[in-house]
């Protein structure tokens, strides 16, 4: 079976995250790397705990696919992508460079590269990308509608 990696913080699950997750699930069996609380604390603003974010992502995937997702904690930007076999890694333009780094590190370890699938940003009503940061600031909602 085709294996797919995707990772993120998924602090406030918004339409941009959903587009990434939907794409990943069209490609094969997905492993979701979810940023740990420790790693999330290094980010500018994360409001939800790992457990809360995991429950939200799990509920979304269960509703989308009828299956329970495989979710692993990420304590670094690479997670299992440096060790496990993956056919695809699904990223946004923001995380494309990390996927390239993963392939460089895999090559150094004698592992085959992973095909990178970059999903364009989902744009808000104002034409700018939807992001958890913008939602935290009160600029937009999780669907990109201006507040």
pLDDT (tens digit per residue) in 53-96: 999 999 999 999 999 999 999 999 999 999 999 999 999 999 99
pLDDT at 55: 98
**Helix/strand/coil for 129:** strand
pLDDT at 42: 84
What domains are defined for the chain? 3-136 (3.40.50.620)
Summary mean pLDDT of the chain: 96
Q: How confident is the model at residue 109 (pLDDT cuts 50, 70, 90)?
A: very high
Taking Cα atoms as reference points, which of 7, 8, 11 lies closest to residue 45?
Answer: 11
Q: In what order do the strands lie in the sheet with 29-35?
A: 70-74, 29-35, 3-8, 88-91, 115-118
Taking Cα atoms as reference points, which of 28, 43, 36 lies closest to residue 114?
Answer: 28
Give the H/E segment covering residue 23: helix 15-27
Q: Are 108 and 133 in contact (CB under 8 A)?
A: no
43: pLDDT strictly greater than 80: no
Q: Which residue has the tokens 């790693």?
A: 39
Q: DSSP of 79-129, one letter per residue?
A: GGGGTS--SEEEE-TTTHHHHHHHHHHHHHTTPPP-EEEEPPPPB-TTSSB
pLDDT at 44: 67
End-to-end CA distance of the chain: 43
């Amino acid at each position: 079976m085709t294996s797919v990696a995707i990772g993120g913080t998924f602090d406030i699950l918004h339409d941009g995250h959903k587009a990434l997750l939907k794409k990943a699930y069209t490609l094969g069996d997905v492993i979701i790397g979810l940023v740990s609380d420790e790693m999330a604390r290094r980010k500018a603003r994360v409001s939800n705990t790992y457990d809360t974010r995991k429950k939200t992502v799990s509920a979304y995937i269960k509703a989308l696919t009828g299956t329970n997702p495989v979710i692993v904690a990420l304590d670094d930007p690479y997670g299992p992508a440096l060790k496990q076999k993956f056919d695809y890694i699904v990223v946004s333009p923001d995380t494309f460079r990390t996927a390239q780094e993963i392939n460089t590190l895999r090559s150094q370890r004698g592992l085959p590269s992973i095909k990178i699938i970059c999903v364009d940003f989902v744009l808000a009503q104002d034409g700018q990308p939807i992001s958890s940061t913008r939602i935290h600031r009160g600029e937009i909602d999780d669907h990109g509608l201006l507040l």
